[in-house]
Chain A
């Protein structure tokens, strides 16, 4: 219980928010809008899961927003060329994985700091995409939306798919050795290396995996509407890092679990619709987000201080 205090407190905060909404704004719980909200949040959840792994491994990736935009546009263009849906999905994931590999090669291979590498790649891909597309939307062919299924079925597919991914990854992190490697590398790379764990290879794989997840998330996003906006993904990195941190993953690596990230993501994703339903003006959104992040990190600091005192 004490071990999961952080995650439980986030879940608690989420719970309080949901209860407040149930009392003051029950319209929040209408099924169709809630499903739409969940479908949109599932996209961010997939990216957040990848980011959690990256941060647990003591790295960071702020280029996910730009990667997301590039994968979305690529996938849209492939679909517009009438490639079969399965091929489009695979291609998008591959494109993401290639970008992730680029980041990983620089970080793991050359030992460069991940924050600066991903800062550089973020700016480069973002500007490059802007230059090439000039803001033009990509029109998707019919039958692409919702994977060709009905809207409800499509939305449920996205939601259930992302939760299934969450469960799979959470189990993998606990039981598979690769999962333990990631925690080890995040805690102390040198000790991990001495224990026979390959830190560089693990780090490289994590970035590739991050890229692949971004590619998957991009597909999940573009099937939700008939056009692709090349600006999509703007601000995604901040949203996702905030969710991961609020969810109890320590920025110094080696600690955290994916269920906390799930709670953190839901909490932050609910702020904007909650403001609308509670008739609070939109310009409070950033300030509230900032306060939540600070509260989360203060809670994290207090927790680790307590652990130091006791341990």
Chain B
């Protein structure tokens, strides 16, 4: 697309805009064929169910923007959940103190990832593959697989299960995280370097920006967010077990990529991630309300991901073909 095109047309074809259209189409579709889908109660439920994955996806966005990845967030959620339970039940700490300690654990775990990736310059995929096993393994070892933490006080369970001023109680935390990440990634000069790091880390280094510290911060943030998600998860379920958050990292990555962030880094947005999370959450709820088997939600998510990827590549391919065609026309044959 050349620069002479009007802005609204450019915006219309942006990935996020298309995803928004898909999301609205999903909503209308499931409202039509589903039972009691488009109700306020269900909207609140969709929001509640997608809080933890939404938080993880938000935290994953800066990481993927810088060209990294974090496969350990789901396992860290499980580890933080059981540690939270242990701090509260076995160390007899009051809930807020236990929560703070859990955030500390999350930050430390994120710091482990950060240290291995930035200090030792190890590839994020494999480091976080290792910590993915390690964190889950620690959770299983600490609980010996069998211990679960329940009977939390009602004032705590309120966070995950009840409504505050009409919206789900965990929503303000989620909205706060959304605002935080959106400001961080899009408005602060600090956060704008994330995309630059994805494109050309060496260029960023020459600009005098401490590359390692920025990248490390993204992983530490992810650790803290995993801990917050773990607390909300425990409140929602009323129970903390070692297998909490199983599979959440893949969901988060799917949401981020669906939202238009390139897995190689460099391009992407927080609102795209948000739309990605919403698209998947609406799909899952819609499938149940339409009385279809749950497997369908998984298959459609996979198909949606492939379509999203293909559609982001097609315009480039078409313009590439066009450019080659016109180049052929213009070039003169060598005599």
Contacts and interface: CB of A to CB of B under 8 A. Distances in A.
The answer on A and B forming one complex is yes
Interface of A: 60, 106, 110-113, 115-117, 119-124, 126-128, 130-131, 238, 241-242, 245, 250-252, 281-291, 293-294, 297-298, 300-302, 304-305
Contact of B132 (A106, A128, A290): A290
Q: Is the interface of A mostly helix, strand, loop or mixed?
A: helix
A286 B137 contact: yes
B122 A120 contact: no
Given A119-B250, A251-B125, A113 B302 contact: no
A288 to B, nearest CB: 7
Contact of B126 (A113, A245, A286): A245
A130 B305 CA distance: 20
B138 A113 contact: no
Given A112-B310, A112-B313, A251 B305 contact: no
A115 B130 CA distance: 17
Contacts of A241: 129
Contacts of A106: 306, 309-310
A297 B133 CA distance: 14
A119 B305 contact: yes
Interface string B109-146: 00000001000111101110111111111101100110
A297 B121 CA distance: 10
Contacts of B264: 113
Interface stretch (B99-107, B223-231, B293-301, B321-329): B293-301
Contacts of A245: 126, 129
Contacts of A116: 253, 257, 263, 305, 309
A293 B135 CA distance: 13
A162 to B, nearest CB: 24
Contacts of A290: 130-137
B133 A284 contact: no
A287 B298 contact: no
A70 B136 CA distance: 27
A305 B305 contact: no
Contact of B134 (A111, A120, A294): A294
Contact of B120 (A119, A130, A131, A302): A302
Nearest to A124: B302
B134 A283 contact: no
A293 B144 contact: no
B303 interface: yes
Contacts of A117: 306, 309
Contacts of A304: 121
Interface in B131-179: 131-138, 140-141, 144-145
A76 to B, nearest CB: 20
B66 interface: no
B126 to A, nearest CB: 5
A283 B140 contact: yes
Interface in B207-249: none
A298 B122 contact: yes
A297 B122 contact: yes
A123 B302 CA distance: 6
A281 B146 CA distance: 12
Contacts of A284: 137, 141
A311 to B, nearest CB: 15
A127 to B, nearest CB: 3
23 contacts: A110-B310, A112-B309, A113-B264, A115-B69, A116-B257, A116-B309, A117-B306, A122-B302, A123-B302, A127-B299, A127-B302, A251-B126, A284-B141, A285-B137, A287-B133, A287-B137, A290-B130, A290-B137, A293-B129, A297-B127, A298-B122, A302-B120, A305-B121
B201 to A, nearest CB: 14
Contacts of A115: 69, 125, 263
Contact of A298 (B120, B299, B313): B120
A123 B122 contact: no
Given A123-B299, A123-B305, 9 more contacts: A60-B125, A112-B309, A112-B313, A119-B305, A127-B296, A283-B145, A293-B129, A293-B130, A297-B130
Contact of B298 (A126, A238, A250, A251): A126
B254 interface: yes
A288 B250 contact: no
Nearest to B247: A123
B317 interface: yes
A247 to B, nearest CB: 12
Interface string B240-276: 0000000000100110010000111000000000000
Contacts of A294: 116, 127, 130-131, 134
B62 to A, nearest CB: 18
A263 to B, nearest CB: 17
B254 A119 contact: yes
Contact of A293 (B133, B253, B306): B133
A100 to B, nearest CB: 16
A15 to B, nearest CB: 22
Question: Counting chain B CB atoms within 10 Å of each CB, which of A121, A124, A282, A290 scores highest?
Answer: A290
B37 to A, nearest CB: 21
B295 A128 contact: yes
A294 B115 CA distance: 12
A287 B310 contact: no
Contacts of B309: 106, 110, 112-113, 116-117, 120
A74 B146 CA distance: 36
Nearest to B312: A112
A252 B124 CA distance: 11
Given A131-B299, A290-B137, A111 B313 contact: yes
B187 to A, nearest CB: 28
A242 B129 contact: yes
Contacts of A60: 125
A305 to B, nearest CB: 7
A286 B263 contact: no
